[in-house]
Structure formats: structure tokens, C-alpha cells
Amino acid sequence: MIVAIDGPSGSGKSSVAREIARRCDLTYLDTGAMYRSVALTCLERGVDPDDAEAVAAVADGVRIEFLPSEGGQRVVVDGTDVTSEIRTAEVERAVSAVSANPAVRVTMVALQRRFGEEGDVVAEGRDIGTVVFPAADVKVFLSASPEARARRRAVQRQGGNLATGDEVAVDAGDEQAILADLVRRDTYDSTRETSPLRPADDAARIDSSELSFEEVVEAILALSPELAARAGRADA
């Protein structure tokens, strides 16, 4: 079974996909982490994210692994754990150019499809339902207002998690900077020539701005009898 969850940055895709994977015994595939891993590697090697040929070479040679951990999942690049490093603001600024690179996307999509061939997965990103797994059993486009997404991302960077009710204090200036960056990335991702961010025609659209984490998860489980059954829901 393949579940595809697409949406803009900060919409809650990662937290929701991880929970769906846990409840339904699926493998969680964080495709955004793959592009972030390439972006981080470029920054570490002094490669300009806008140098398409050099970035493509990095993507072609990098080895990305997803390994289990007590916290859920570790991202390992060429043998080094980069789970925290790929979530920095510097990587956030670089990843749009990296993910828009056609050659990089060809490499990453091929790798993502190999992961899908190995078993049941829930994959999240920006082109999962439209490009990577167009025949996915369940497709979701998860969105939220830019303000709600900026708040979530600001809390996340301070070590909190609104999905689990772990609220922490954030700096208003930092939150505004994150909001501006999200709006910039939304524009970039939705207008790029290669695999632009858009809902698949047959995707269920869910706006999480005013929904709790549990409400979003339940809405997705309700889309498929098989998902509901896997989660052990009484109404499956």
C-alpha cells in the first residue's frame, strides 16, 4: 500500500505521515529530508545551490539512508547522522534551488520509487501524488495558512512540537522571518518548471489551519477502509 501526502512547507506533513506510518504499520518516507540532505552536502562541500551541474553531481553520488531510532527515524548521509543538521535555516534557504534542479529530481524520484517497491510506505513531499507515486492508493494534499505554518516551524526550531502539544516560547522576529521565508518558498515551489507544488487531481484536500493533529490523522484514516483497518479503527 502507498499513501502519498503532499503540501507546502510547514503544513504538518512530516508529523502526520509519521503517525499514519506508526498506526498503520507502514514505512515512513520523508522525501523532503532527501532534498535537504543534498542541500546540506552541497553547503558542506562549498557547492553553490544554484550551480545546477555541480549540485546534480552531488545528488548522484550521495548515499541517503533512513534508519530507525527511539525518536522515530534518523537520516544518515554517507554514514553520518544529519537528522538535526538538515533542519537548519541555512539548509531551508538552500533546499528550494536544489529541489527545483531537474537532474536532482530524476535521481531522487528513482530512489523514492525503489523505497516504494520494497514495501508499504507513506511518503510525504511536494510531488508524491503527481510524479513519484501517481497510482498511490491514498492521496492527500495537506495545507494550512502561512501564519499557522510559520508558528509551527518556529516552535519546532525551538525544540517544541505543536502536534503533540509541546508549546515553547518563540521570538516574534524569528517567527516573522520564517513566515517570509515560507511565502518565498511557496511561490518558488508552486511556479518552478519541474514538478511544481500542486494537488493531484484525485487528492483529498485537507486544510489543517484550524484542525488539531488528531483531527488531521483521523481525516486521513477515514479516506481508506484499508488504512482504517490497519489502524484498528472500530468503524473500519
Q: What's the pLDDT at 168?
A: 79
What distance in Å separates the CA atoms of residue 44 and residue 36, rounded to the nearest whole number?
12
Architecture of domain 2-230: 3-Layer(aba) Sandwich (3.40)
Q: What's the pLDDT at 235?
A: 53
Per-residue pLDDT of the chain (236 residues; tens, 9 = 90+): 999 999 998 898 988 999 999 999 999 998 989 999 999 999 999 999 999 999 999 999 999 999 888 767 899 999 999 999 999 989 989 998 999 899 999 999 999 999 899 889 999 998 999 999 999 999 999 999 999 999 888 887 877 766 656 777 788 888 899 999 999 989 988 998 888 899 999 999 999 998 989 999 999 999 999 999 999 864 55
Q: Which runs of consecutive H residues, i.e. helices, occur in 158-224?
A: 172-191, 213-221
Tell me the three state secondary structure of residue 157: helix
Tell me the three state secondary structure of residue 113: helix
Q: What's the pLDDT at 71?
A: 67
The three cell numbers of residue 39 are 542541500
Q: What's the pLDDT at 206?
A: 97
Q: What's the pLDDT at 68?
A: 81
Residue with cell 498511490: 136
HSE on the CB side for 87, CA within 13 Å? 16
Q: What is the DSSP letter of 126?
A: S
What distance in Å separates the CA atoms of residue 193 and residue 174, rounded to the nearest whole number?
30
pTM above 0.85, yes or no: no
The three cell numbers of residue 159 are 525544540
Residue with cell 547522522: 81
What distance in Å separates the CA atoms of residue 111 and residue 105, rounded to the nearest whole number?
10
Q: Element (H or E) spanning 29, and its range?
A: strand 27-30
What distance in Å separates the CA atoms of residue 66 and residue 4, rounded to the nearest whole number?
18
